[in-house]
Amino acid sequence: MGKVRTYEGADIEIGFDMGRCIHARNCYLKLPQVFDPSRKPWVAPDAAPAEEIAAMIRTCPSGALTFRRKDGGLAETPGPINRVRILENGPLALEGHLQVQGEEMPRATLCRCGKSGNMPFCDHSHVEAGFTATGEPSTDAKTDGDPEKGTAAADPIENGPLKVVGPIEVISGTGKRLGVMNRAFFCRCGQSGNKPFCDGSHKEAGFEG
């Protein structure tokens, strides 16, 4: 994780980790009066009610934005189902009870194009690289009924795939269930013929990450 900058307001403190931002513009499009990259400082934590800001931050796909309520409001609570969403021509979007490289977080976007300079996190390099991979894959992933509760731990294997251990539901970009499992290996070299899962192509491709 990179250095987190904080922006203090009367009722809420906003944290921002530039190293995890994928520039989806979700914050600006939903609350431009609070989040405006053309302004310095670009975050104005008193420009909207704290609950409205907190609700928006809960939708930040990368988890780059976080908050701490100073008015007694509720902190963010991870959703009951750990999900791995396959984004069209983009990263893996994870949310739920997560541990990424041992750090707890409710949301994260993880690279699957193999080009990120901030592995295992996405840094938007897939756009410049012209990465293409469907968000609606056909897959024979194993389904073990409904997902159970628990923590999903995501750890990159050196020069190999992303290993996720724990209950997860893998879904397409539009929310179609692709599988439910307790252990999965996701491609992060961008070369697998069985995306989003690893098929060993990283070895032939000489992937380093």
Q: Tell me the sheet residues that pair with 83.
A: 95, 169
DSSP characters for 93-113?
Answer: EEEEEEEETTEEEEEEEE--S
DSSP 55: H
List, in order, residues 6 or more apart from 89 with CB less than 8 Å away.
126, 131, 132, 133, 135
* Mean pLDDT, all residues of the chain: 93
Say what the alpha-carbon torsion angle 130, 200, 181, 63 is, to the nearest 10 degrees. -40
What pLDDT does 140 receive?
65
| Each residue's pLDDT tens digit, 27-43 | 999 999 999 999 999 99
Average pLDDT estimate for 117-133: 94
* pLDDT band of 172, cuts 50, 70, 90: very high
Average pLDDT estimate for 161-175: 95
- Are the CB atoms for 133 and 141 separated by under 8 Å? no
Q: pTM for the full model?
A: 0.87
Dihedral of alpha carbons 65, 66, 68, 74, sign: positive
Structure tokens at 26: 């979700």
What pLDDT does 82 receive?
95
Q: Tell me the sheet residues that pair with 103.
A: 100
What pLDDT does 3 receive?
83
d(CA 19, CA 122): 9
Q: Where are the beta strands (DSSP E) in the chain?
A: 4-8, 12-17, 65-69, 83-86, 92-100, 103-110, 152-156, 162-171, 177-186
Structure tokens at 46: 């008193």
Is 15 buried (19+), middle (13-18) or exposed (0-12) by CB count in 10 A? middle
Least confident range of 42-46, 48-52, 79-83, 136-140 = 136-140
| Each residue's pLDDT tens digit, 68-114 | 999 999 998 888 899 999 999 999 999 999 999 999 999 999 999 99
* pLDDT band of 137, cuts 50, 70, 90: very high
Least confident range of 1-15, 90-104, 142-156, 170-184 = 142-156
Structure tokens at 27: 């914050």
